[in-house]
Structure 1
Amino acid sequence: MKFYPQLQQLVQELEQDFTSISEERKTDLNLFAEKIKESIQQFDKAKVIVICTHNSRRSHLGQVWLRLAAEKYNLPIETFSGGTEATVFHPNMIEALKAAGFQVEKMEDGENPRYQINISEEDKNQEQLFSKVYSDEYNPQENFIAVMVCTEADGGCPFVAGSVARISLPYQDPKYADGTSEEKEAYQKNLKEIGREMLYAAAQV
């Protein structure tokens, strides 16, 4: 699949930057890749739920980037996200995704809007992204890999019911920069870090 030009360029930059990932972090990402491989062998595909506290920023990024990585490396991975509580897909993260070259379309208004995010002209994906708890009926209820991307959710969910594996991959929450002059930079940094690591993990499968 040929991604949108701006996104294609970003993907290439992130792949060339795999060397910046620490050896300690690569150990965790390699474990994630191993669990994906095991799920594909056992179930013919891997289902992954990316989990953080509010399902508003990092977990959506993880879901979107892992789907792109699965397309790039031709892997049978289904991606989902959820929180320990539901809030809203944060507008700052929506703007960060648009700025990076993703096509974002609002499908439904309201207090918790739904969005569709596409990665290329040929992208037929119609998955709707919105804030929800990880156990929401929209997500798989069993045989999935749980990826914890914030320390709070990681500490609060030592056991994730229905999961076949639980991986801890915490990232800093960019909300610390909300309303400041650092806002756009903080969100882009977060977007690139998660993108780099999801691409790296998929490349190891």
Structure 2
Amino acid sequence: MRVLVLCTHNSARSQMAEAWLRHHARELGVDLEVHSAGTEKAFVKEEAKRVMAEVGLDLSGHRSKTLWEVPDPWNFGLVLTVCDQAQEACPAYPAQTIRRHVAFPDPTGKPLEAWREVRDALGRMARFLVARLKEGEIPSDEELRRAAGL
């Protein structure tokens, strides 16, 4: 399955979610192709790189991109929005897909502990999602929120 994670700037939450989803897919033996994009392009924030490195996930090769820069952008089985602004922009996504939305708090401008909390919540949600996909199921928004601890 192809999974797209959308956020506003593709600079933090969507980048961390992409890394977690790939990690858990490898760990659980699930064939996922995961990409992330933003409704606007920015840069991957240093705080995101730092807190992900703390758990052994490297974002140094990641770059911020828009949907137009993702391979085959209209062919995703699941589109996951991780911020409210991207959710509002998402109805413009014309392809047939399953959409899920979980709004994670924006840690920008906050201490590293806030970044770690968002990182860990994204990790819990990603592991739950991959485990359910392995079972052939796609959880609801509410199940994903609960798994994240939100």
Tell me the TM-score normalized by structure 2: 0.82
Tell me the percent identity: 27
What SS does structure 2 have at the residue aligned with 1:194?
Answer: helix
What SS does structure 2 have at the residue aligned with 1:79?
Answer: strand
- Name the aligned partner's letter for residue 49 of structure 2: I
Q: Which structure's residues are more often strand, by fraction?
A: 1
- Name the aligned partner's letter for residue 104 of structure 2: Y
CA contact (8 A) 2:2 2:34 kept: yes
Gap runs ≥5 in structure 1: 1-45, 107-114, 116-128, 178-182
Q: Spell out structure 1 runs of 4+ moving beyond 4 A.
A: none
- Aligned with residue 139 of structure 1, among 71, 89, 113: 71
| Matches for 1:33-182 after TM superposition, within 5 Å | 46-104=1-59, 106=60, 115=61, 129-136=62-69, 138-144=70-76, 145-177=78-110
Structure 1 vs Structure 2 CA RMSD:
1.5
Q: Give 1:165 deviation, angstroms.
A: 1.7
Counting matched residue pairs gives: 132
- Aligned with residue 184 of structure 1, among 100, 108, 112: 112
**Per-residue deviation, residues 7-62 of structure 1 (Å, max 9, x unmatched):** xxxxxxxxxxxxxxxxxxxxxxxxxxxxxxxxxxxxxxx11110000000000011
Is residue 200 from structure 1 mapped to residue 133 from structure 2 by the alignment?
A: no
CA distance in 2, matches of 1:101, 1:134: 27
What SS does structure 1 have at the residue aligned with 2:108?
Answer: helix
Q: Give 1:176 deviation, angstroms.
A: 4.2
What SS does structure 2 have at the residue aligned with 1:158?
Answer: helix
CA contact (8 A) 1:89 1:130 kept: yes
CA distance in 2, matches of 1:168, 1:154: 7
CA contact (8 A) 2:38 2:65 kept: yes
- Name the aligned partner's letter for residue 78 of structure 1: E
What SS does structure 1 have at the residue aligned with 2:5?
Answer: strand
